[in-house]
């Protein structure tokens, strides 16, 4: 999808186009029956209010996001979804292009209740077919919002978009079954909070995250979140934190010229020796070997066989 594809739309016609140093606050953006669509590109910025869940998909380049869960970088085909009090700020880099939406809590509750569709916090990646489908539905929603039709038509288009976003999160269905709770609503609540904890680990991959921080974020006790996190994801919070920091180190080794010692410090390890042991255990090679393999275009460096399943939790 090219930037020119959007030139015939305008913010007054159902969605906000944000670019060239502009900053849009969702509280002051025009709303379409409880939801708002965004296209962010070329140094544009969006700040979502602390009461609206939101979803973002990177179509080109890179964007930076800062939220209550931490700091994130999104590359092409990566998505991220935030809970209602995450209050993310999205900043597109040069030639960056992303689409997204936010939704008022009342509308989201109504959709969850009647259509059993929810927006779960988390992050991941879409394939080419999913990206095309999401863009088509987003544009259809924008077209419906720009038309002066019935509110039901606009809401129907938004529900279709939300339903497909929910479908791209299908891997969470298995996790939902592992969550404690007699009612489905309770299980969704538990998984939503655990997903926020997982996002928090990724957003703070530069340091060791304390259990007390996750307890405060999720409103669960440290004992309960530790036990439930392990039961749902099959990995302890501590191991997940280490995996995220190793993934962060991999990104820095690929994309920066920092020394191994500087990468170790940037990822919150106590010493280069501790980093070296941990990196080799997770990745099956040294950090220097990993950098050399990536520089030569080889992709053979991968997590050690016994840890591949655990490392999937840390993958963006």
Q: CA-to-CA distance for 270 and 125, rounded, in angstroms?
A: 31
What pLDDT score does 303 carry? Answer: 59
- Residue whose C-alpha is closest to residue 208's, from 250, 240, 253, 256: 240
Cα gap 298→175, rounded to integer Å:
33
Q: What is the pLDDT of residue 76?
A: 96
46-50, 115-119, 311-315, range with the lowest pLDDT: 311-315
Q: Are 255 and 291 a contacting pair, CB within 8 Å?
A: no
Query: Is it the case that residue 184 has pLDDT exceeding 70?
Result: yes
Is the model's pLDDT at 210 over the cut of 80? yes
pLDDT of residue 21: 57
* Residue partners of 207: CB distance under 8 A and separation at least 6: 268
Q: Which position has the higher pLDDT, 71 or 306? A: 71
State the chain's mean pLDDT as an integer: 86
What average pLDDT does range 193-216 have in this prediction?
96
Residue 116 has pLDDT above 80, yes or no: no
The rounded percent of the chain whose pLDDT value lies above 90 is: 66
Using an 8 Å Cβ cutoff, are 266 and 206 in contact?
yes
pTM: 0.86
Q: What are phi and psi of 268, to 5 degrees?
A: 80, 20
In whole angstroms, what is the distance from residue 24 CA to residue 100 CA?
13
Each residue of 11-64: pLDDT tens digit?
444 556 666 556 666 655 555 678 899 999 999 999 998 789 999 999 999 999
| Rounded Cα distance, 164 and 130, in Å | 9
Q: Strand locations in 61-181, DSSP E?
A: 62-67, 70-75, 78-82, 89-92, 97-103, 122-125
pLDDT the model gives residue 17: 64
Residue, of 149 and 223, whose pLDDT is higher:
223
Per-residue pLDDT tens digits for 271-304: 999 999 999 999 999 999 999 999 887 655 555 5
CB 146 within 8 A of CB 13: yes
CB-based contact 100:56 (threshold 8 Å): yes
Determine how many CB atoms are found less than 10 A away from the CB of residue 210.
Answer: 13
* CA–CA dist 30, 295 (Å, integer): 47
Residue 312 confidence (pLDDT): 46
Query: Whole-angstrom Cα distance, residue 12 to residue 89?
Result: 22
Three-state secondary structure string covering 227-253: HHHHHHHCCCHHHHHHHHHHHHHHHHH
H/E stretch holding 155 reads helix 151-168
The order of strands in the sheet holding 45-47 is 23-25, 45-47, 89-92, 62-67, 70-75
pLDDT value, residue 114: 76
Alpha carbons 280 and 73: distance in angstroms, whole number: 25
63-67, 183-187, 190-194, 311-315: segment of lowest average pLDDT: 311-315
Q: Per-residue pLDDT averaged across 192-219, rounded? A: 96
Nearest to 29 by CA among 43, 44, 47, 41: 47
Long-range contacts (CB closer than 8 Å, 24 or more residues apart) made by 267-270? 267/205, 267/206, 268/205, 268/206, 268/207, 268/208, 269/245
pLDDT in tens, 220-264: 999 999 999 999 999 999 999 999 999 999 999 999 999 999 999
pLDDT at 31: 58
Distance between CA 94 and CA 86 in Å, rounded? 25
Q: Which domains does the chain have, with CATH numbers?
A: 3-168 (2.60.120.280), 171-316 (1.10.10.60)
Are the C-beta atoms of 136 and 129 separated by less than 8 Å?
no
pLDDT of res. 8:
39
Residue 265 has pLDDT above 90, yes or no: yes
13 vs 136 pLDDT, higher one: 136
- Which alpha helices (DSSP H) does 172-236 contain, by range? 172-178, 184-203, 211-218, 222-233
Residue owning tokens 């689409």: 99
């Amino acid at each position: 999808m090219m930037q020119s594809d959007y030139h015939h739309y305008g913010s007054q016609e159902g969605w906000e186009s944000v670019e060239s140093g502009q900053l849009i606050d969702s509280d002051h953006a025009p709303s379409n029956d409880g939801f708002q669509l965004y296209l962010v590109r070329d140094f544009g910025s969006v700040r979502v209010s602390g009461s609206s869940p939101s979803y973002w998909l990177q179509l080109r380049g890179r964007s930076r996001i800062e939220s209550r869960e931490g700091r994130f970088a999104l590359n092409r085909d990566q998505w991220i979804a935030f809970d209602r009090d995450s209050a993310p700020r999205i900043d597109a880099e040069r030639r960056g292009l992303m689409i997204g939406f936010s939704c008022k809590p009342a509308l989201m509750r109504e959709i969850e209740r009647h259509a059993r569709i929810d927006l779960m916090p988390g992050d991941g990646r879409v394939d080419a077919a999913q990206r095309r489908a999401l863009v088509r539905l987003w544009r259809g929603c924008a077209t419906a919002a720009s038309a002066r039709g019935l509110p039901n038509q606009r809401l129907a288009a938004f529900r279709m978009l939300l339903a497909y976003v929910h479908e791209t999160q299908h891997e969470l269905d298995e996790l939902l079954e592992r969550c404690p709770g007699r009612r489905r609503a309770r299980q969704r609540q538990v998984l939503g909070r655990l997903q926020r904890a997982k996002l928090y680990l990724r957003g703070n991959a530069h340091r060791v995250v304390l259990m007390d921080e996750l307890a405060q974020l999720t409103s669960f006790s440290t004992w309960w979140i530790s036990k439930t996190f392990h039961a749902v994801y099959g990995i302890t919070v501590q191991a997940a934190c280490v995996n995220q920091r190793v993934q962060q180190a991999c990104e820095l080794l690929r994309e920066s010229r920092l020394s191994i010692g500087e990468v170790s410090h940037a990822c919150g390890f106590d010493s280069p020796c501790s980093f070296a042991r941990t990196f080799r255990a997770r990745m099956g090679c040294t950090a220097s070997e990993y950098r050399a393999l990536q520089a030569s275009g080889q992709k053979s460096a991968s997590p050690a066989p016994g840890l591949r399943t655990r490392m999937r939790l840390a993958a963006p």
